[in-house]
Amino acid sequence: MTNFAPISLRAVLMLIFAMFSVSAWATGDPAAGKEKSQVCQGCHGQDGNSYGPEWPNLAGQHPSYLIKQILNFQDGVRTNETMNGMVIGLSKQDIEDIAAYFSSQSLQALTPETEVEIIKTGRKIYKGGNLYSGVPACAGCHGPNAAGNSPAAFPHLAGQKTTYVVKTLKDFKSGARANDVNEIMRNIAARLTDNEINAVAAYLSTVQLQR
């Protein structure tokens, strides 16, 4: 059995402090962002509610998180063949405006697509983690209602597409995605089984976004 070192409070605090500079940058114009985001809308929807299960909803997302992701796609820290090409020409102001627009939109409620028992399991892991495998509660960073943390640029996860959350966690687990500060998400995802990942993703799709 693989032994994992515990995720320390110090590491979490370092992650939070590292994000403050990004959150302070979020001062965009939603009206300008609506026009500039037209190329994004083909996948992520006109109002940030995406058209496909593999594309994340951006509606209501914290601008600090959206800004960080766009910057990471620009500098290649986060890789996706489509996204890396889409963001190449965006200026600082473009990024701020696009983030402000999607953040101002309302997230549409999703209809649960999986069994109630899976959702219950996911809720248990999200709220309390798994003591035996060292998985911390997701709510510790993303909040009890999955509303995230804007100053820390932690995304809200409420109402996110199941397929996208599963892929994201598996990418962190495999190391295919590595734009998490201090490897926090990679260390957590490494402890999750595929069944736990599926359960957490199913649960999050049912959570209503609260601000």
pLDDT at residue 115, rounded to an integer = 72
| SS3 per-residue string spanning 61-130 | CCHHHHHHHHHHHHHCCCCCHHHHHHCCCCCHHHHHHHHHHHHCCCCCCCCCCCCHHHHHHHHHHHHHCE
Angle between helical axes of 63-75 and 92-103 (0-180°, round to 10):
140
Which pLDDT score is estimated for 109?
Answer: 80
pLDDT tens-digit profile, the chain (211 residues)? 444 455 554 455 555 545 554 545 558 999 999 999 999 999 999 999 999 999 999 999 999 999 999 999 999 999 999 999 999 999 999 999 999 999 999 999 876 666 789 999 999 999 999 999 999 999 999 999 999 999 999 999 999 999 999 999 999 999 999 999 899 999 999 999 999 999 999 999 999 887 6
Residue-level pLDDT at 114: 63
Tokens of 197: 């990942």
- What is residue 3's predicted lDDT score, i.e. its pLDDT? 46
Cα atoms in the Cβ-side hemisphere of radius 13 Å centred on 66:
28
Nearest to 95 by CA among 28, 38, 150, 49: 28
Express the helix, strand and coil content of the chain in percent, nearest 5 each: 50, 0, 45
**Identity of the amino acid at 46:** Q
* CA angle 186–187–193, rounded 5-degree value: 85
The C-alpha atoms of residue 44 and residue 167 are separated, in whole angstroms, by: 16
